[in-house]
Structure 1
């Protein structure tokens, strides 16, 4: 088999002219054994399996990660998944690249070998020991090393998560937060940035990061001006709340949590932070009507409705989820029903964003229209074209709970149809999108 490699044109003026004047496209023959049998690309990090066949590490890892336990070439079972770096072949490939540098071929850098479970275990033990000794300088060095490993590859991140890095970081975070948040602010920020991608943290790690001390520090960062620390804080909170709702009770014991989250949404700093904060608020409000009313008193209903006006898909889903929770309280429904934007915005989002957004939209509309004695909101929903969209939703299908709400809404609208001069029966179809 013959392979070829199309060289990049050199940046050197003379060589550029040579190619142009000759009007040729330079092709170089690449030795077959330099090619990965899977991707057929030049190997950057050749590794040899127990079957004796050499592959590029990235290609064979994708193969085994997909559940394949045979050698792609020999079809033998891989009883041993160890990948031995083929240093000799890598050196040959690098030499070949250097030899043809004049043709614009770049030398393949020496790859870094993925870390092992043993290495992670060792550094985690050192992190815990440095924490116990209050050795800030040593701890910074160890965390810096973990950060370097994480940047090298996603495989390294997975290895660290699976072997207790989250637990070690959680221990360090709680320990230094308990001494002085102000004094160790920079160190705590670095640890928090690691915790943001290390979930799950293990049982011991959860007990540390979910402690009152840790929560106080996280909220302290939320109140600060550091955008990165804010983002990492809400990320960690969402991870904890998604795991166990009992963390919501602990978090609400910290003074100023609700007010801080509200301010982040009210005066958005970045879309990512706003969305993450909306998710935290959504999780906190579930089953807590008293907290819902506190958020309503702050003005969250109005803020969320304004967010929905121009919110993109992801933002709309989260804002609709929060508004749905707000409408679980009587005060929340009253505020939402009085806002002139509520029904028009809901009519706009219906069938237009996503299935989840539609479910939230139907739920909100049902809660508002069902309790509206004068049926003015039902009439308004008819005027914005909700009726035909709900009919479409019934036809394309939805979950049972949503279907029941849609049926109730259609009945209410049918009773009020005489109060509307004209209903555009096609307006609901132009936003219907086929699922891929």
Structure 2
């Protein structure tokens, strides 16, 4: 395998090295230094029971994908033990040093992956220190876990599988009872780690979904630290994926709605925007009827419906899906529908999203059109016809969709058929494609 190694030009010394590199533009890497899977230089060579060496990261992904044969020999693997090949790793490092003038950096000596016993020991110590209220020691242990997770995906997977998320959630609840200002950095570190630790188990979900923990996250959303705000809303979103009942607690937290509205209005990053929209959707969709009406009125009065429509003008696929889901949930309420009616771009934007983004976006768009058009609102029906919604909905039915979407689409076609004579630009020939009269 031939690789071209290029070096940066840095001052006079850089020019001399560049000259040497140009004199030998291609450097051949010994074939036994290459991983048979990726064909890249091995950084952490390990040997399988078949005697073939691979780079650890690549062979781990191969095994995790469910493969039980050696990629090279195609022999069944008697076991999945990965034995570090120190000899070849040393040879690779020596070769890198010998060829450093060609811009090759020495492969660092890999760290030994952690095992479940090490993780369990850290978690046990963390719980003891948390119960004693030792903030500094807890920060040290949490920092240790975060460092280990950054070393490799294998370490991160081991940390998650050992139930560390549940321990971190318990610690977060314990220190949430203390004034945020006193242990703010520890709480931020816990939140940052929790963003990638889900699922965290029933007990962890219960601890993180408590009123104390959720109110603490809400305080971070009101703060100035953008990283903490992002982590807090992502953890809220993940939590609601496993326990929708948390939505009732969220609706009772003062100023949370305002914080979420600002997160959408002044975006930090796409992941934070998506998480904020998901939390808003859950607060509107999964709360009791009493809380439901209050939170909807609050969001509507802030101008959330108009804000979501503005987002839909130009945004990425995932944000579009979540924005449409939020708008669909608000159209279940009279206040939400009224705001949608009043916005001049509503029908144009929703009609445009049918068949343009994804299956989920199509289902939400048809649901929104159905809610806005039914009930005798003939202006909405006529506008949808003028925008070509009839033809798009017909295509959706012909291509195929879910049963609920099919029912709404069929009802929409029947409704639009009543107004077809009042639309000058409507193409009546479209009706010949219908299998039955609407």
TM-score scaled by length of structure 1 = 0.90
CA spacing shift, 1:369–1:145, aligned 2, 3 Å: same
CA contact (8 A) 1:293 1:329 kept: no
Q: How does 1:253-402 map to 2 (within 5 A)?
A: 253-288=252-287, 289-290=292-293, 291-371=295-375, 373-402=376-405
How far the C-alpha of 1:47 sits from its partner, in A, is 1.0
Contact 1:5–1:27 (CA under 8 A) maintained in structure 2: yes
- SS of the residue aligned with 1:310? coil
Any residues of structure 2 matched to 1:28-427 within 5 Å, and which? 28=28, 30-288=29-287, 289-290=292-293, 291-371=295-375, 373-423=376-426
Deviation at 1:328, TM superposition (A): 0.7
Once the two structures are TM-superposed, the CA of residue 297 in structure 1 deviates from its matched residue by 3.3
For 1:97-156, what per-residue CA distance to the aligned partner results, in whole angstroms no more than 9, with x for missing partners? 211222332211111222111111111111111112222221111111111111112221
Q: Does the 8 Å CA contact 2:48/2:83 hold for their aligned counterparts?
A: yes
Between 1:130-139 and 1:277-286, the stretch displaced more is 130-139
Aligned length: 421
Paired residues of 1:97 and 1:106 also in contact (CA < 8 A)? yes
The CA distance in 2 between the partners of 1:356 and 1:135, in whole Å, is 48
Give 1:280 shift: 0.4
1:152-207: per-residue Cα shift (whole Å, max 9, x none)?
Answer: 12221111010021112112111111122221112111111111111111232222
Q: SS where residue 179 of structure 1 aligns?
A: coil
Counterparts of 2:286 and 2:104 in 1: how far apart (Å)? 62
Query: Per-residue deviation at 1:253?
Result: 3.1
Q: What TM-score do you get using the length of structure 2 for normalisation?
A: 0.89
1:425 CA displacement: 8.1
1:14 aligns with 2:13: no
Q: Which runs of 5+ in 1 are unaligned?
A: 428-436
Give the structure 1 partner of residue 433 of structure 2.
Answer: none
Which segment is superposed worse, 335-344 or 90-99? 335-344
1:9-41 deviation digits (Å, cap 9, x = unpaired)? 685433533565x6x64443x444323333343
Q: Is the 8 A contact 2:129 2:137 kept in 1?
A: yes
Give the Cα separation in 1 of the matches to 2:141 and 2:210.
24
Q: Distance in 2 between matches of 1:235 and 1:161?
A: 17
Contact 1:388-1:426 within 8 A present in 2 as well: no
Distance 1:110 1:424, change over 3 A: farther
